[in-house]
Amino acid sequence: MRGYFRTFFLIVFYVALCKEILKAKDFASYEVTDGDTIVFIRGKGNRERIRLEGIDAPEMKQPCLTEGKACGELSKSYLKSLTSSDLYCEISGRDKYKRGLGTCFSKGINLNKVMVKQGYAVAYVYYTKIYEEDEREAKRSKKGLWKYGFKNPSQFRKEKKNTVQS
């Protein structure tokens, strides 16, 4: 009987460690929709949205605070420049919108980390502090969007929501 429990728990432990992995080569195409979202496309109407876990990028229409730059567009462009046909994402769960939450890689690079470290996204510390030091470094060095200044994306969304409701 003890052997059955041991086997059962080993199977449960193994399944818990396994993550769903989506690879660009297994799909017809993929699209970078903003600085923290990638969509894998199988065919018409068959799309898998992946939210880069642990980071938050400016909204597409979010402006930078100086020089009239569109921070959301700059963030998206930077993420797009990092992706290639060997793109894959390790999915760890789902968010309330049923998007996959994942860490994505291309050319062996952790895209989530690079987006924060190079200043094109912020660490989403509400959920995890894993990229917090990368954000501090980017901010201190004025990398990426930090050189233009921008509102934290969650603050921007909150203000936009309050303006719409008023």
Q: Of 53, 59, 90, 135, which is the active-site residue?
A: 59
Q: Is the per-residue pLDDT at 166 higher than 90?
A: no
pLDDT band at residue 40 under the 50/70/90 scheme: very high
94 is catalytic: no
Residue written as tokens 């969650």? 154
What pLDDT is attached to residue 162? 80
Identify the weakest region by mean pLDDT among 8-12, 73-77, 89-93.
8-12
159 is catalytic: no
Q: Of 48, 99, 137, 157, which is the active-site residue?
A: 99
Its pTM stands at: 0.85
Question: What would the pLDDT profile of 8-32 be if each residue is shown by its tens digit?
Answer: 443 434 444 457 999 999 999 999 9
